[in-house]
């Protein structure tokens, strides 16, 4: 049974999009791998000594142990030989082994990635709930003082560094009030502080985007005409306002999710959350080059996939994009 012309166009579009996504992923893999390798080699100090210290401890490591690690891992070979070996393994789908623990990098990342994605999704959900509710409420009420207060609060949260927000929340909720654990990983209560720390800055920007876009839609002639037809305010908001607000809000929140996953390094380290950001810091300190390259590559792939997902969501929500492509 032959496919319809519309179905053929859809299949062609999907095939073209998959090819572009694959090309982007391959380009990102190569660029991220080369840059991270170059940056690790440019760091001062003896990488073999750092790796040996990570294996045996700083108290008992000596020059003999560092020389043994250097010979075992091939760190005495030229840089192009080491980079070529890693790229060759990457072409076979192998990220190599950690220079410190000896475990497969892919296995370690598979555990850490789940914690990072869980934290990012929890923060994103909190930001959506707070930002959409605040922005829509201020836009629908139309009060000037609420508008000014929302702008001031949003700018304050956006301007405050993430570690300062985390320190403030941990001091009040964990130290003074003893409501939540200050750091670590365990039950759901350990997720609250890092999730709120990441969500506050994102919710601040999302509330402003929602507020300004909704005010623009409320001022359009189509909304005024809907009211003159006798439609209730609630129906106008549900049928016209929210639909026209969805595209920019989805684009903004989707890209913020991408940046959220990329920017969890500080929060994971601060709250000792066992994600890829926390592991990246330890790998940098230990000069674990395969682990750094694998973690950076994982973040790069997440960026490519989530960016494509955001583009697809906007395409589904906006009929103008479907007509234009």
% of the chain beyond a pLDDT of 90: 1
Mean pLDDT of 13-21: 70
Q: Which CATH class is domain 112-324?
A: mainly alpha
Neighbours of 95 (CB within 10 A): 22
Between 325 and 81, the higher pLDDT residue: 81
Q: Considering only CA atoms, which of 135, 155, 154, 162 is closest in space to residue 260?
A: 162
**Separation between Cα atoms, residue 246 and residue 252, nearest integer Å:** 10
Query: Is 257 a residue whose pLDDT tops 60?
Result: yes
Query: Is 19 a residue whose pLDDT tops 80?
Result: no
**Separation between Cα atoms, residue 244 and residue 154, nearest integer Å:** 23
pLDDT tens-digit map of 102-136: 888 888 888 888 888 888 888 888 988 898 888 88
Give pLDDT, residue 26. Answer: 79
Domain residue spans of the chain: 112-324
**Separation between Cα atoms, residue 295 and residue 200, nearest integer Å:** 26
pLDDT tens-digit map of 65-114: 888 888 888 888 888 888 888 888 877 778 888 888 888 888 888 888 88
């Amino acid at each position: 049974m032959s496919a319809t012309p519309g179905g053929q166009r859809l299949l062609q579009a999907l095939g073209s999009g998959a090819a572009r996504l694959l090309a982007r992923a391959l380009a990102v893999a190569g660029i991220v791998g080369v840059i991270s390798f170059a940056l690790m080699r440019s760091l001062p100090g003896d990488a073999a000594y750092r790796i040996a210290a990570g294996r045996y401890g700083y108290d008992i490591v000596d020059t003999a142990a560092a020389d043994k690690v250097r010979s075992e891992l091939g760190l005495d070979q030229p840089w192009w030989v080491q980079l070529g070996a890693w790229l060759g393994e990457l072409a076979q789908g192998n990220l190599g082994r950690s220079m410190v623990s000896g475990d497969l990098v892919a296995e370690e990342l598979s555990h850490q990635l789940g914690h990072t994605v869980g934290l990012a999704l929890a923060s994103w959900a909190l930001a959506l709930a707070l930002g959409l509710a605040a922005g829509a409420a201020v836009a629908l009420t139309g009060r000037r003082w609420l508008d000014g207060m929302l702008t001031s609060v949003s700018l304050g949260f956006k301007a405050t560094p993430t570690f300062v927000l985390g320190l403030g929340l941990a001091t009040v909720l964990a130290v003074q009030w003893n409501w939540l654990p200050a750091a670590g990983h365990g039950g759901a209560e350990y997720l609250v502080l890092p999730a709120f720390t990441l969500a506050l800055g994102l919710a601040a920007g999302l509330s402003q985007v929602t507020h300004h876009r909704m005010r623009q839609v409320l001022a359009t002639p189509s909304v005024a005409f809907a009211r003159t037809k006798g439609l209730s305010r609630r129906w106008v908001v549900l049928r016209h306002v929210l639909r026209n607000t969805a595209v920019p809000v989805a684009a903004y929140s989707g890209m913020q999710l991408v940046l959220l996953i990329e920017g969890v390094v500080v929060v994971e380290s601060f709250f000792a959350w066992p994600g890829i950001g926390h592991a990246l810091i330890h790998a940098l300190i230990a000069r674990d080059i395969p682990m750094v390259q694998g973690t950076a590559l994982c973040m790069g792939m997440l960026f490519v996939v989530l960016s494509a997902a955001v583009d697809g969501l906007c395409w589904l929500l906006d009929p103008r994009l479907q007509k234009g492509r």
